[in-house]
A and B are shown apart, each in its own frame.
Chain A
Amino acid sequence: MSEEHQDAVPEVDASDAAADAVAVTDDPTKAFSFSPEREKKYEEIVRRYPTRLSAIMPMLWLCQDEWGWLKPGVPEWVAARLEVPISRVYEIISFYTMYYTENPGTYNLQVCRNISCHMAGSGKITKHLCKKLGVGLNETDSEGRFRVEEVECLGACGMGPMMQVGKDFYEHLTEEKVDELIEQWRRDG
């Protein structure tokens, strides 16, 4: 993973920072800023945990809520704001699977692949989704809207095959049902 990040880092200073219209500043704590209500949550988080290291994970969640994924530069910003070593932040990001360092798209279709869902046909669903959307597994489509991902058990074994999109579960999936859902999301934009 380190390679990717090394490549990504220079972009923070040049294009990304400029694109976000953030004032270029020497102070890394000001590279990004939360929306006011998240800023409030941030304050809560920092207050809740005894050490700053413990606050890294909820802080990263907050960032992911704000921007959808951990844009280049955000981990550095987190480290600067929490005054923790950047290596710790990256250790956490790379350890957990649900921190996204690549844009997961608007709709991240997380299909369960564990045994119950698999026996109920999740494999077929995944394949169908990939074919319909024209993407491979763990790939985002060209418009940056859909991404198909296989995940481990989400605790809905009785309702398989199932997938999670955002915070919603979609259960008892069939190919038709999936088609419908996609049509709907396409309409929603």
Chain B
Amino acid sequence: MAKIIVDGKEHECEEGQNLFQAIKAAKGRPLPHFCYHPALPVAGVCRMCQVEIEGVPRPVIACNAQVKDGMEVRTETDRIADVVQQILNFHLLHHPVDCPVCDQAGECALQDQYMNYGLYEASVDVEDKIHKDKVKPIGELVMLDAERCVLCARCTRFTSEITKTHEMGIFNRGNHAEIDVAPGRTLDNNYSLNTVDLCPVGALTSRDFRFKRRVWWLENTPSVCAGCATGCNMTIDHSEGTVYRCRPRPNVEVNSYWMCDEGRLLYHRLHDEDRLRTPVVAAEEGPRTVDWDEAYARVQSLLTADGGETRRVAVIASAHATVEELHALGRFADGIGAAKIGYRLEGSEMGEADDLLVSADRTPNAEGARRLGWSQFLGEELRAQASSDTVLLVLKNDFAAFDENGVDLLSAYAGVVVLGTHQDATMDLADVGLPVLSYAESDGLFVNEKGRAQELHASIAGPESARHAVVVLAELGRLLGKEFGWEDPAALRRDLVATEAGWGALATGIDRTGVLLDVVSDGAAIGAESGSEGGGE
């Protein structure tokens, strides 16, 4: 432990800690900076975070200094203000000041620092400025504007230290120095959009988000990526019912500060053409859109055999559904005595893992499903349940896209009811398709492959007539004369914590980094004893 004095106030920190972080902890806000990033090696190039240290004649940059016991640091003297302003002056000397067309405006470090420390008269005419590349696509998803760059080297450090792909570099020197991709290269790795997040200014902007929406109109909802089992924490930026972009949310336990491009761009699916917006029922000429009452009437008729008695039900769960939805489905199935088939075909939805974030399992909640007692299923199990006296209920599962035999088998069922978000392959085969809310539109939990339960929050409202899957399940239960008594995911979560073992960690609430669930023995159904002995937190 070491004590330092920051602006006259004592602060406890670790000996040898990075001074920048120590000051950030002491003051509650960071020093002005462009190049410092906690997950990247220190570059010390922007010179903005200068502080005065007692006994050191000249101001030093805090990001490249280490804490020493008894160190006395001053960050708010006139001298520092003057130094920072002059440094900022250099940064802005050849900046094009094209904030009106710049997507970074509103979340731009240059703008912020200028308002805090600048406010001087510019000394260079617009005509005298050095001109560099503008509007240069350097990759599938990233646009470069070299004039706006402050040469903080975050992007080059990211490509050389994190992805180790080395696409980017700083070329030329002096006034003419600029970032770019190396000749013949493009910024095309799966993490390229992280450079856009890293870029403190508008030099690197996302071609996906470009000009779509001003950032100050975006609302931010913390959520979790549904792209794979890693469960990267992300922020959904949305406005007026439309998601405009997703950004990684720092969580050192899961994804550090990063997120893959694939996961970021997943939000496009939310607004796809083939999003299921109203209930559909199968008709001769193809799916026909109907209202909920008619859809439920159709479900009712499917459930009623010719003789008048109620048919059997088999349910298929999904690793794309939230914990609450899966729990609701489980209780639904138990309540009406339905056969529980499982959450996915063995091995389907597995892709390639990389060594950074992407998991081979491309479903977000396989671990959650497993912990709730669902198992993976084989085409055989589907066949075993198939009979003309059974109705198949599918929750958010597009297994038909992965198994051709399964497709054939579906016709053996008396009827297929699918609760889904899109008009996908399974939905095409359904007798009744019911639109439910997607991961971005509902609250819920995903459990990632390491057993960390993380919260989703509803960001946008979703299609007007879509309902939450647990609500639909409750209503379907009512059709079968069964009252389940839950109304929303929160009620189900309470029920889950109260009734099932292994979820006790949720009882005290979840913070933004999620909570690690108790370890369970692999593949086994959760028993009371295994739940109590775990202790992974």
Contacts and interface: CB of A to CB of B under 8 A. Distances in A.
Touching in the complex, A and B, CB below 8 A?
yes
Interface of A: 1-3, 5-6, 8-9, 75-76, 85-91, 94-95
Contacts of B181: 2, 87
Contacts of A86: 166, 182-185
A174 B184 CA distance: 46
A94 B152 CA distance: 18
B10 interface: no
Nearest to B166: A85
B359 to A, nearest CB: 28
A2 B159 CA distance: 18
B151 to A, nearest CB: 12
Nearest to B167: A87
A22 B160 CA distance: 32
A76 B184 CA distance: 10
30 contacts: A2-B133, A2-B183, A5-B183, A5-B184, A6-B183, A6-B184, A9-B184, A75-B183, A76-B184, A85-B166, A85-B182, A86-B166, A86-B182, A86-B183, A86-B184, A87-B156, A87-B160, A87-B167, A87-B182, A88-B166, A88-B169, A89-B182, A90-B169, A90-B171, A90-B182, A91-B169, A91-B170, A91-B171, A95-B172, A95-B173
B286 to A, nearest CB: 49
A2 B166 contact: no
Contacts of B173: 94-95
Nearest to A93: B171
Contact of B171 (A2, A76, A85): A2
Contact of B185 (A8, A87, A94): A87
B183 A9 contact: yes
B180 interface: yes
B168 interface: yes
Given A87-B166, A87-B167, A94 B172 contact: yes
Contacts of B184: 5-6, 9, 76, 86
Nearest to A8: B183
A75 B168 CA distance: 15
A5 B182 CA distance: 9
A125 B167 CA distance: 44
A90 B180 CA distance: 10
Nearest to A7: B183
Contacts of B180: 2
A88 B164 CA distance: 13
Residue in B169, B172, B183 whose Cβ sees the most chain A Cβ within 10 Å: B183
A87 B168 contact: yes
B33 to A, nearest CB: 23
A76 B166 CA distance: 13
Nearest to A88: B169
Top 5 nearest A-B pairs (CB, nearest first) are A5-B183, A85-B166, A87-B169, A87-B182, A94-B171
Nearest to A10: B184
Contacts of A94: 171-173
Contacts of B160: 85, 87
B168 to A, nearest CB: 6
Contacts of A5: 183-184
A42 to B, nearest CB: 22
A88 B172 CA distance: 12
Contacts of B182: 85-87, 89-90
Interface in B149-200: 156, 159-160, 166-173, 180-185
B166 A90 contact: no
B171 A1 contact: yes
Nearest to B132: A2
Given A1-B171, A90-B182, A95-B173, 12 more contacts: A2-B171, A75-B183, A85-B169, A86-B184, A86-B185, A87-B181, A88-B169, A91-B169, A94-B171, A94-B173, A95-B171, A95-B172
Contacts of A8: 183
Contacts of B159: 87
A171 to B, nearest CB: 29
Contacts of A91: 169-171
Nearest to A97: B173
Contacts of B183: 2, 5-6, 8-9, 75, 86, 90
Nearest to B178: A2
B184 to A, nearest CB: 4
A100 to B, nearest CB: 15
Contacts of A3: 133
B275 to A, nearest CB: 40
B167, B170, B184 interface centre (most CB from chain A within 10 Å): B184
A91 B168 CA distance: 10
B277 to A, nearest CB: 45
Interface centre among A75, A87, A91, A94 (most CB of B within 10 A): A87
Nearest to A76: B184
Nearest to B173: A95
Residue in B169, B172, B182, B185 whose Cβ sees the most chain A Cβ within 10 Å: B182
A135 B171 CA distance: 28
Contacts of A90: 169, 171, 182-183
A90 B181 CA distance: 10
Nearest to B184: A9
Contacts of B170: 91
